[in-house]
Structure 1
Amino acid sequence: MDDTSNQDQAIELLQELGLKEYEAKSFVALARRQSGTAKDISETSEVPRTRVYDAIRVLESKGLVETQHSSPQVFRAVSIDEAVNTLQTEYVERAESLRDALSGLEPTDDETVTEATHEVWAISGDQGITSRTQQLIEGATDEAILVIGHESIFTDQLAEQLRAAKGRGVNVVVGTVDEELRIAIQDALPDVEVFVSELDWVSRSPLPGDDTEISRLLLTDREAILVSSFTEGRYDGREHEQGVFGRGFDNGLVAIVRRLMATGLLVENDPREGEA
């Protein structure tokens, strides 16, 4: 990645973390030098000089910039580590405030909330599916069976979640589509059972013209299922993850996947199957 790409990405990420465009550009301009005046920042960032001062005041209030009250004033960015920690703390605090605000909302109807066990919900986007994966693994009490269809799914974060589940007594089983991926995951999770899955349809469809790539298949406590696949975006041509989620032992989707996994030697027969 060249310098221009790094600069553009840094500005974009800073905006996603809550800074406005001129604030992000001014901070990146300062991060590239030891210190600078408003004129220096404007020339480096292409932010109008009259707007630099406004941006600097905001950055200073956030603890991202320090000011030397000379003539002219000189500014400098805090260290990269300090800036990242400051923004991370603010992001977490905002997320917690959002949680409190949403939790305090009054329901718009008087119906009693009951947990649906026969519904199937669609989930779109890598972040949403990754978040639901984490939620299911962290909520598992007895068993978590995960089939990984693509190496990009197995991240350090996912490894830590599986490791934590194993540590609290959950039976964790991981299936992979090939031996190379199995070895990599086994090295990362030496205490977890990892093997090449016999579910051939995960990596390749038996149907002609079907090139859908299953990315992950997760079954927790035999009562909740998440299945996702990669699909090419209609407008940007990039691969996006799409998934479906269902909960409930007698949910049709959960029952089908549970039995398919059983045929792939991933799970033993469950006595409750006779009751489904």
Structure 2
Amino acid sequence: MSSISQIWSFLEKFGVRMDDPQVYKAYDGILNGLQEMGLSSKEARILLYLVTRKQATAVDISKHNDIGRTETYNHITSLMSRGLVFSNFGRPQKYYALPLDKAIDHLVETRREALQHLLAAKEEYCKMIEKASSSMSLSNVEEKNSYQILSGKNALSSTIKRITLGAKEEIILLLNEKTFVDLYHAGIMDDVASMAKRGIAVRLQTSYKNTQEYAGGTRQAVGNNKIVIESIEEKMVNFVLVDNKEIVVMLLDGKPEKSKLHGFYTNNLPIISVFKAFFEKSG
């Protein structure tokens, strides 16, 4: 049985027919989810192959996933060290994986424990680094005219949340329908509403027509300020601009459901002025 046939067989258990065009999207979604939890692209493919195949030799894994033999063994070793894949004592050795639901639970719990440990030790780590830095003769970091390339929804959402919660005067958002809903589900629109209640001016331009479903009367005055919403046509670029000092730009290729969201952060004032002018002309 070919690799794609095994994938189809697996997905059919969840009610997806072999001729359903959603099969590739579902498969890609599973792979992307596994990568979001720390697996490499090839590790995710091998894990899903073993889930659907039940068990396989390294030779089979290498052949059906188009991965070199030595590299395959390295990825198998990595998956075994993560507690996701097992080997028997036979010859040739065969490998099998946890069921997908248990594998996901295992990855989530492992990530949760690591994050909790990091959070608990955050203050101590920061003090150690600050102490080490202060003992060296180093020039201050030039924070102006800096930028970050951001890849994936999580990185973008985290950066947007950080600059939004740090706003002192104004938050400007230009969002298409999908981005608006994504930011809502990430809790960022709630953060924006909270900042408006503190007196931060908020201006939102969006192509989404039912903002009241999510924003709940955001045209109304909030505290001493209000969120001003303007309806616009769909744009290929979305951004969140804070205090005319920091901006996160989200770049869309026209098929956001099939590609990973990318963007960038910058505090470069000339770049920011271009997007501010674009916002003023869009309204």
Please state which band the TM-score falls in when normalised by the shorter chain.
Answer: 0.5 to 0.7
**1:40 Cα deviation after fit:** 4.2
The correspondence for 1:137, drawn from 164, 167, 182, is 164
How far residue 150 of structure 1 moved from its aligned partner, in angstroms, is 2.7
Percent identity over the alignment?
A: 18
Normalization by structure 1: what TM-score?
A: 0.55
Alpha carbons 1:41, 1:52 under 8 Å: kept: yes
Query: 2:246 touches 2:265 (CA, 8 Å); kept in 1?
Result: no
For residues 70-81 of structure 1, the aligned pairs below 5 Å read 70=90, 73-81=93-101
Tell me by how many angstroms 1:241 deviates. 4.0
- The counterpart of 1:109, out of the listed 129, 134, 137, is 137
Match in the other structure for 2:56: 36
1:182-215 CA deviation, whole Å, 9 max, x = no partner?
Answer: 41x32123264465438x8xx79xxxxxxx9652
For structure 1, which runs of at least 5 residues remain unmatched after alignment? Answer: 205-211, 233-237, 248-252, 265-276
Q: 1:197 aligns with which of 225, 230, 233?
A: 230
When residues 52 and 103 of structure 1 are mapped into structure 2, their CA distance, relative to the original with a 3 A threshold, is same
Distance 2:166 2:264 in 1: 22
Structure 1 residue 3: deviation in Å? 4.5
Specify every segment of 5 or more residues in structure 2 that has no aligned partner in the other structure, as ranges.
1-21, 220-226, 254-259
Give me the whole-angstrom Cα distance separating, in 2, the residues matched to 1:5 and 1:112.
48
Displacement after TM superposition at 1:62 (Å): 0.7
Q: 1:58 aligns with which of 58, 78, 82?
A: 78
Partner in structure 1 of residue 204 of structure 2: 175
Task: State the partner residue of 1:226.
Answer: 247
Residue 149 of structure 1 contacts residue 213 of structure 1 at CA under 8 Å; is this kept in 2? no
Instruction: Name the CA distance, whole Å, in 1 between partners of 2:40 and 2:61.
Output: 16
Q: Which amino acid aligns with 2:230?
A: S
- Aligned residue for 1:17, secondary structure, equals coil
Q: How does 1:1-276 map to 2 (within 5 A)?
A: 3=24, 6=27, 10=31, 14=35, 17-19=38-40, 21=42, 23-47=43-67, 54-70=74-90, 73-88=93-108, 93=114, 96=118, 100=125, 104=129, 106=133, 109-111=137-139, 119-125=144-150, 130-140=157-167, 145-159=171-185, 160-164=187-191, 166=193, 170=198, 173-178=202-207, 181-183=208-210, 185-190=211-216, 192-193=218-219, 195-197=228-230, 215-219=238-242, 222=243, 224-226=245-247, 228=249, 230=251, 241=263, 244-245=266-267
Secondary structure of 2:267's counterpart equals strand
CA offsets, 1:195-251, max 9 Å, x none?
Answer: 5438x8xx79xxxxxxx96522433xx47442647598xxxxx9964554269xxxx
Going from structure 1 to structure 2, the CA distance change for 1:17 and 1:187 (only over 3 Å counts) comes to same
Between the aligned partners of 1:188 and 1:218, the Cα distance in structure 2 is 20
Q: Tell me the distance in 2 between the aligned counterparts of 1:11 and 1:227.
A: 23
Whether the 8 Å contact between 2:156 and 2:248 is mirrored in structure 1 is no
Q: What is the rounded CA distance, in whole Å, between the counterparts of 1:14 and 1:182 in structure 2?
A: 33
What amino acid maps onto 1:33 in structure 2? R
Q: 1 or 2, which has the higher helix percentage? A: 2
Inter-CA distance 30–144: structure 2 relative to 1 (3 Å threshold): farther
C-alpha RMSD of matched pairs (Å): 5.2
C-alpha deviation, 1:135, in angstroms:
0.8
Report the Cα distance in structure 2 between the residues aligned to 1:88 and 1:4, rounded to whole angstroms: 22
